[in-house]
Structure 1
Amino acid sequence: MMINATMLGSFTLLGLKNTTAKYRLMLFTLTLLCYTVIILVNVALVLTVILDEKLHKPMNIFLCNLCFNSLYGTAAFHPKFLFDLLSNSHVISYSGCLLQVFFIYSYATTDFSILAVMSYDRYLALCRPLEYHSIMTKHRVALLVCFSRLVPMICQAVVIIMTSKLTLCGFQIEKLYCENWSILKLSCYSTTLNNIVGFIVILIYCGHALFILCSYIQLVKFSLKYPECKKKFLQTCMPHLICLINVIVALLFDVMYARYGSESVAQSLKNFMAIQFLIVPPMLNPIIYGLNLTEVRKSFLRQCKYNKQVGRLE
């Protein structure tokens, strides 16, 4: 008998179906610890940049945008997941499910857009330093920040609107959170048009990847041609490159599993592959930048020292 999930009004998440109470408690502790670290490191970096006027530079503004995006995306997953770990009923409403898909995947695609913008910024700073300030004006920075946030949101809004039009004949999702591909598999009818739109969105972000690759080819060529620029390349571009690889690997895990994952794969491995991009990049990105960018690191330590002294005086 077919059940229309849109009429039922909710979905059941099956990612934790075989997880015992003992493992759930351990997972709850680890997840809470990870989420706390994610909030602390991202908020710390954002506040460090905001409070120090010397850090009000385009690259640092884009970095704040990246950290804010991590907070935005993880807020759509971690609180619900923590609640599910303590509950025996892993249910999410139909509208809540669609919202979760929108927030999580707009977060993932926004990360990619921000990294593309940051690669453009690094290309200008190293390869065209004399023109950098005339090109990277406040107006241009604001436009790039808007581009990195609005384009992914528009793409995901189109995907969600199309998904919401589907008639579904099931209500069970084999993941820890709602995911668009999982919802499409529950459709009573053909989802060819949805798949086409999905592949167009993927192609848009493949274009982002190509743009980033071209930027880095130019950066590497320039640093090899002018050895004096090598130190600057290693200091400012390597953190960006590490973050980029981190995000790409995490997203590939999720996309490849969602599309081609085998039923024979252990549920624990499936869960890890599904949530990696919601834990590793948000946690490591600000740490990588904070440790590698001298200005940011020194400013953070200076502000910590100042706050400690104020606390003692009080």
Structure 2
Amino acid sequence: MADNATHHYISSFFLVGIPGLQDFHCWMGIPVCLLYALTWLGNSIIIVTVKLETSLHQPMYFFLCMLAVNDVALASSSAPKMLGIFWLDAHWIDFDVCLAQLYFIHTISITESALLVAMAFDRYVAICIPLHYTTILTTPQVIKMGLAAITRATLMVLPCPLLIKRLPYYTKYVISHVYCEHMAVVKLASANTNINRAYGISVALSVMVLDLGLIATSYIKILQAVFRLSSRNARSKALGTCAAHVCTILVSYTPALFSFLTHRIGKRVPPSIHIIFASLYLLVPPVVNPLVYGVKTKQIRDRVVGLFFPNKKISEN
């Protein structure tokens, strides 16, 4: 019998995978493996490129490196277990390991959101008050902002596994998901979970409302500054420096919002669709972000071309 102090009596959970699509698990492992491999490749190239190219030792690229490290961690928190389910039928996960996975997935996701806010602030300072850019966004300040993002996420998510640990789990152990997600685990408890649900919703809403609000405010200020410029070329150049960041925001927040809303109000959405979108939220942005910045940022694009094709003439565009 389990220790009464821990309250839970089951020792592990059974992760179903994608309900209704179990026969296709073997094939689903292929895109997951490909996305995970591309995550490591793309983000490693970004980090190495920024490290080697001294002209990229600027706040914007330091934030990009933080985002790259965070993206690798985000994919690594879920992809290995997904592949275990799809290819090895490794459906069981220890109770405490499940809570650890839950904690890291949500912590890294909130850190990602904070980094996108920091990158929006970077663009705001660069375009709206360029003369003070180097004094406002110094290297120590960039490091502090990165640490603040991690600290906020760590403290906000910490109560989630602690509150779950207090709940009794007697008979329900089947999680209809490919990884341990907060609400999916909470729903299995044999007790009133209103506190857990309320805290989970409050964290998710506060992060989305605050971070999206700050990003929106930054871009409103940016657009106001850009349209005050007299030269069309200057306006185009200023907006061009924001293009990669805007793409990253859309790729990161769209599946996250869909997953959040369907889990709570989308009763008619098939579980398989919800789980696929929840998985894409963890696997697609880490692949897309380095591609977007590699294509949209000339300095990175030229440096990568120089690394792989040293004899190729670099374009001026």
Length-normalised TM-score, structure 2: 0.90
Aligned letter for 1:257?
T
Q: Aligned residue pairs: how many?
A: 303
Structure 2 partner of 1:303: 307
Structure 2 partner of 1:192: 194
Aligned letter for 1:197?
Y
1:76-131 deviation line (CA, Å, top 9, x unaligned):
11111111112335111101111111111112111110000000111000000011
Structure 1 partner of 2:105: 104
Are the counterparts in 2 of residues 15 and 267 from structure 1 also a CA contact under 8 Å?
A: no
Distance 1:140 1:89, change over 3 A: closer
> Are 1:32 and 2:33 an aligned pair?
yes
2:227 is paired with a residue whose SS is helix
Are the counterparts in 1 of residues 17 and 177 from structure 2 also a CA contact under 8 Å?
A: yes
Match of 1:272 among 252, 269, 276: 276
User: Displacement, 1:148?
Assistant: 1.6
User: Displacement, 1:150?
Assistant: 1.7
Are the counterparts in 2 of residues 72 and 107 from structure 1 also a CA contact under 8 Å?
A: yes
Match of 1:11 among 7, 10, 13: 13
In the TM superposition, structure 1's runs of 4+ consecutive aligned residues that sit over 4 Å from their partners are: none
Structure 1 partner of 2:64: 63
Structure 1 partner of 2:296: 292
Are the counterparts in 2 of residues 5 and 11 from structure 1 also a CA contact under 8 Å?
A: no
Match of 1:231 among 223, 226, 236: 236
> Are 1:52 and 2:57 an aligned pair?
no
> Are 1:208 and 2:200 an aligned pair?
no
2:130 is paired with a residue whose SS is coil
> Unpaired runs of 5+ in structure 2?
1-5, 313-317
Distance 1:20 1:138, change over 3 A: closer
Matches within 5 A, 1:66-215: 66-169=67-170, 170-205=172-207, 206-215=209-218
Aligned letter for 1:123?
Y
User: Displacement, 1:5?
Assistant: 8.9
Distance 1:168 1:235 in 2: 52
Which moves more between the two structures, 290-299 or 84-93?
84-93
Are the counterparts in 2 of residues 239 and 288 from structure 1 also a CA contact under 8 Å?
A: yes
Aligned letter for 1:274?
A
Distance 1:198 1:265, change over 3 A: closer
Taking every aligned residue pair, what percent have the same amino acid on both sides?
27
Length-normalised TM-score, structure 1: 0.90
1:219-252 deviation line (CA, Å, top 9, x unaligned):
0111111144423332211110111111110101
Aligned letter for 2:83?
L
1:225 is paired with a residue whose SS is coil
Distance 1:57 1:232 in 2: 18
Match of 1:222 among 225, 233, 253: 225
Match of 1:243 among 248, 252, 263: 248
2:178 is paired with a residue whose SS is coil
Are the counterparts in 1 of residues 19 and 176 from structure 2 also a CA contact under 8 Å?
A: no
Aligned letter for 2:262?
Y
Distance 2:92 2:236 in 1: 52
Are the counterparts in 2 of residues 62 and 118 from structure 1 also a CA contact under 8 Å?
A: yes
2:101 is paired with a residue whose SS is helix
Distance 1:294 1:171 in 2: 50
Are the counterparts in 1 of residues 8 and 168 from structure 2 also a CA contact under 8 Å?
A: yes
> Unpaired runs of 5+ in structure 1?
309-314
Distance 1:204 1:111, change over 3 A: same
Distance 1:196 1:26 in 2: 37
Distance 1:137 1:202 in 2: 31
